[in-house]
Amino acid sequence: MTVRIGVIGTGNIGSDHIRRLTRVCTGAQVTAVTDIDPARAAEVGSEYGARALATGAEVIRDAEVDAVLVASWGPTHADYVLEAIAEGKPVFCEKPLATTAEDCLRIVDAELAHGSRLVQVGFMRRYDAGYRALKQAVDAGRIGTPLIAHCAHRNPSVPESYTSEMAVQDTAVHEIDVMRWLLDDEIISVQVLTPRRTGRAFEHLQDPQIVLFETANGVRIDLEVFVNCRFGYDIRCQVVGEDGAASLPQPAQVPLLVEGREQQDVLQDWRDRFVQAYDREIQEWVDSVAAKTVGGPSAWDGYAATVITDAGVEALASGAIVPVSIKDRPAFYGADL
C-alpha cells in the first residue's frame, strides 16, 4: 500500500521531509502540499510532483490524502492536528505539538475520543542509533541505577529572531523528550542558570544557559544550551550510574592527520547530525500508518514536553526552581515514557 501524504508548511523541515518521503522512504507519496507562502508551496510541490493547495484545511480534507504531516510554525500546529483528528486521519506533527498545555490537552482529549492513536510528535532523537544504543545500555543495567546525566546542546549560531525563552522551548525541548524516554522517568522540576553571556550573541539573548532538571526518581540532569557556540552543532549526553557511566556515541567522522595535527571535523548542521534519525522516524511513521498502528512519541509526550518547557520559561524569568505539574497519564498512552 502507498500512503498518500499531505504536508502543511514547506519551509526548512517541511521541504526536507517532503524530499525524504519522496526520495528516501518507501511506501509513501506526497500528493498535496500547502504553505501560507503560496509561491513556496508551488515551488516545492512542482519539484516533488505534489499539488499545491491553498489552505491546510483543504490538504487535510483532500480525498487523495490518507495522512497529514504538519511542519508549519509552532502556534499553528494545534488547529491542524485537531482538524486531522476530526477527519480520522493520522497526523505527524513537528515539535511542538502545541504552544500551550491547554491546546495539547485538547488534542489528547480528541485522540482519546477517537479511540486509537492518530498523533505522532516529531521528537526524532528517539530514532537516533546512538541514543538507542545508550538507552539499551542503561535499560540492560550496564551502569547500574542512573543517578546523574550531563547533556549539552550546542548550535553554531541562531538568527536574531531567536529569544532567550526559545533556548528551552525550541532547543532544550529535544533533551526534555529524549531524557524522559531514555530514563523512563518523568521530569518534576526545572531551574535555569544564566552564566556569563557570550559576546558573540545578540544583546537581547541570554546565551549560554544551564538548565537543571530533577526527575521523579531523583535523577539530576544538567543541560548546557549554547546556541552561538561558533564551532559547530554538538550534542552530548552522559548518564552516570551507581556502577559506571554511559555516553552518547558521536557520529563517525574521518580522523585526519594533516599539517602536524590530528583533526576531525565538527558537524555544522542539525540536519546532518540527525539525518538518519529523521529518515528512520518518517519511514517508521509511514509504515505504522499503513499498518494502522501509529506509535512513536505521542500526543501525551507532546503535552508533557510543553508543560516542562512552560516551567522552564518561568524558571528563566524567576531564577527559582519551578515544579512541573503534569496531569495523570491516561492508560491509553501505555506505561512507558
In this structure, what C-alpha cell is assigned to residue 235? 550534542
Query: Residue 8 touches which of ligand NAD, ligand ISE, none (CB < 5 to 8 A by kind)?
Result: ligand NAD
**Alpha-carbon radius of gyration of the chain:** 20
Choice between 47 and 188, CB closer to ligand NAD: 47
Neighbours of 58 (CB within 10 A): 15
Number of residues forming the site for ligand NAD (CB under 6 A): 24
SS3 at position 43: helix
Q: Is residue 135 a contact point for ligand ISE (CB under 6 A)?
A: no
155 binds, among ligand ISE, ligand NAD, none (CB under 5 to 8 A by kind): ligand ISE
Structural contact between residues 276 and 312, judged by C-beta atoms closer than 8 angstroms: no
Among 34, 155, 283, 309, binds ligand ISE (CB under 6 A): 155
Site for ligand ISE in 160-219 (CB under 6 A): 170-171, 174
Q: How many CB atoms lie within 10 A of CB 206?
A: 17
Helix or strand (DSSP H, E) at 223 = strand 220-226
How does DSSP classify residue 142? T
| E strand or H helix that includes residue 277 | helix 275-290
Q: Does 128 bind ligand ISE (CB under 6 A)?
A: no
Instruction: Identify which of residues 285 and 333 has a Cβ nearer to ligand ISE in the complex.
Output: 285
Q: Give how far Cα 82 sits from Cα of 70, 186, 216, 264, 332, Å.
A: 11, 26, 31, 46, 18
Q: Which is nearer to ligand NAD, 34 or 191 (CB)?
A: 34
- By a kind-dependent CB cut-off of 5 to 8 A, residue 6 interacts, out of ligand ISE, ligand NAD, none, with none
- Binding to ligand NAD (CB under 6 A) within 30-89 occurs at 34-37, 40, 56, 71-74, 76
Sites for ligand ISE among residues 270-329 (CB under 6 A): 270
Binding to ligand NAD by residue 10, rule CB under 6 A? Answer: yes
Tell me the residue nearest to ligand NAD as measured from the CB: 11
Rounded Cα distance, 14 and 298, in Å? 20
Residue among 268, 13, 250 at smallest CA distance from 157: 268
Q: Which does 72 bind (CB under 5 to 8 A by kind): ligand NAD, ligand ISE, none?
A: ligand NAD
Decide whether 57 or 193 has the Cβ nearer to ligand NAD: 57
Instruction: Say which DSSP state 149 is in.
Output: E
Subset of residues 256 to 275 that bind ligand ISE, contact rule: CB under 6 A? 270
- Least distance in Å: CB of 306 to ligand NAD? 12
DSSP category for residue 160: T
- Structural contact between residues 324 and 187, judged by C-beta atoms closer than 8 angstroms: yes
> Which chain residues interact with ligand NAD by CB under 6 A?
8-14, 34-37, 40, 56, 71-74, 76, 94-95, 122, 124, 170, 270
